[in-house]
Amino acid sequence: MMTDHDRRRAVASEYAQYACLDELLHLQWPRTQAPAEMSFIITTQVMELYFKLLKHEWTAACAKLEAGDIRGAVVDLRRGHGVQDALIASWEALRTLTPGEFDEFREAFGAASGIQSELYRDLEQALGVPYPSRGEDAPSLEASAARALERRGFDGWLAAYRAADQNPDLFDLGEALYDAAERFTRWKQRHLISVWHSMGEKKGSAGTSGAEWLARGVHQKYLPELWNVRSEAWA
Ligand code: HEM
């Protein structure tokens, strides 16, 4: 007969199977004995998983835009905003990493750097950054939204914003895209703050100047048209 304990184990095991916990929880391999390395590896993995989820939501949003379902695309983008908020909050797990603690394992990962993240580039591509050498695999929110606007007779965001009263769905779409772009930049700002905290102005592992290089990137505007309309009169 199945005892309560057996039942609980069976449930736990279904849970573990469903979430592939055996695989997931055996993917953390610190290269050193440094206590802080685990938080660095897990935060990196968590962020890559969230990048994957965000790409998933943005791919769904692009498909809806191509099908003319603007409201549906806005729902997907809002779900993406939640993922982006979680991404920004994930920096908190590294907030106490001191330069001394970081130096204990920095050499062990060699020239590895987040600059090599393919998913991060997919997301930038979705926000309209051209990477000609990477091909067209990633979804493009910028291109899909431009086509959606065009099909409704608008040649850009300013015209659509000025006609917001008759086209509230397009206005909501523009603002949801802007919110995604802004959150992407906020993740970069938070990254820079962590870099200042954990390695100051030292050079990056990929060979860039480090914080100085990242600080320049923080000024980059994704989906710039949606930032530029903010300098124009909408009425
Ligand atoms: C305190 C911990 C971290 C430090 C000190 C740090 C440092 C740096 C530095 C110096 C760069 C510039 C490129 C280089 O020369 O390496 C960089 C780029 C980058 N890092 Fe980090 N990083 C940290 C954590 C993370 C984490 C957890 C992720 C998550 C995946 C990440 C993702 C990235 C990405 C995507 C870039 C490229 C940014 C761009 O091209 O705009 N970093 N990082």
Specify the pLDDT at position 171.
97
Task: Indicate if ligand 1 lies below 6 Å from the C-beta of 44.
Answer: yes
Q: Which of 6, 44, 3 is nearest to 27 (CA)?
A: 44
Domain of 45: which CATH number? 1.20.58.480
Q: Answer yes or no: do 26 and 45 share one domain.
A: no
Q: Which of 128, 126, 146 is nearest to 137 (CA)?
A: 126
pLDDT band (50, 70, 90) for residue 8:
low
Q: Answer yes or no: do 66 and 120 share one domain.
A: yes
Task: Indicate if ligand 1 lies below 6 Å from the C-beta of 59.
Answer: no
Angle at 20 between CA 105 and CA 42, to 5 degrees: 20
Task: Please count the structural domains in the chain.
Answer: 2
Mean pLDDT of the chain: 95
Q: Answer yes or no: do 1 and 82 share one domain.
A: no
Task: Indicate if ligand 1 lies below 6 Å from the C-beta of 125.
Answer: no
**Structural domain harbouring 150:** 37-231
| Residue 80 host element (H or E) | helix 70-89
Specify the pLDDT at position 233.
85
**110 CA to centre of ligand 1 in angstroms:** 13
Residue range 9-43, pLDDT digits in tens: 666 799 999 999 999 999 999 999 999 999 999 99
**138 CA to centre of ligand 1 in angstroms:** 21
Q: Counting atoms of ligand 1 from 1, which one is nearest the CA of 211?
A: 10
Which of the listed residues 53, 105, 113, 197 should we mutate to test ligand 1's pocket, taking the one with most ligand atoms within 8 A of CB?
A: 113
Q: Answer yes or no: do 91 and 203 share one domain.
A: yes
Specify the pLDDT at position 138.
80
Task: Indicate if ligand 1 lies below 6 Å from the C-beta of 208.
Answer: yes
Q: 30: which residues sit within 8 A by CB, 6+ positions away? A: 37, 38, 41, 105
Task: Indicate if ligand 1 lies below 6 Å from the C-beta of 45.
Answer: no
Q: Answer yes or no: do 42 and 4 share one domain.
A: no
Mean pLDDT value of segment 101-116: 97
Q: Answer yes or no: do 7 and 83 share one domain.
A: no
**171 CA to centre of ligand 1 in angstroms:** 34
Residue range 148-206, pLDDT digits in tens: 999 999 999 999 999 999 999 999 999 999 999 999 999 999 999 999 999 999 999 99
- pLDDT of 81 strictly over 90: yes
